Amino acid sequence: MDIAGLSMAMSLTNTQSAYGVAMLSKSLDQASSTGGQIVEMMDAAAMELSVNPYVGANIDISI
């Protein structure tokens, strides 16, 4: 058995695993932030409709 080679392989595997977990965590944080911003935009649109319910309901087009 090559102990040094096994040790290096295990260390590399642990490093790659830790990197993958860190990147997934960062990706989840970014998705959560984006989702929160989308909810805020939808709330702002709903607020505009509650103040002016008829704005944007009809479009008049002349040709």
**pLDDT band, very low/low/confident/very high, at 47 (cuts 50, 70, 90):** confident
Q: Is the confidence at residue 49, as pLDDT, over 70?
A: no
Q: Is the confidence at residue 45, as pLDDT, over 70?
A: yes
- Distances from the Cα of 39 to the Cαs of 1, 32, 35, 42, 48, in angstroms? 57, 11, 6, 5, 14
Contact of 17 with 25, CB cutoff 8 Å: no
- In a 13 Å sphere around the CA of 59, the CA atoms on its Cβ side amount to 2
Q: What is the pLDDT of residue 1?
A: 62
Q: Is the confidence at residue 58, as pLDDT, over 90?
A: no
pLDDT tens column, 6-35: 999 999 999 999 999 999 999 999 999 999
- Average pLDDT of the chain, as a whole number: 85
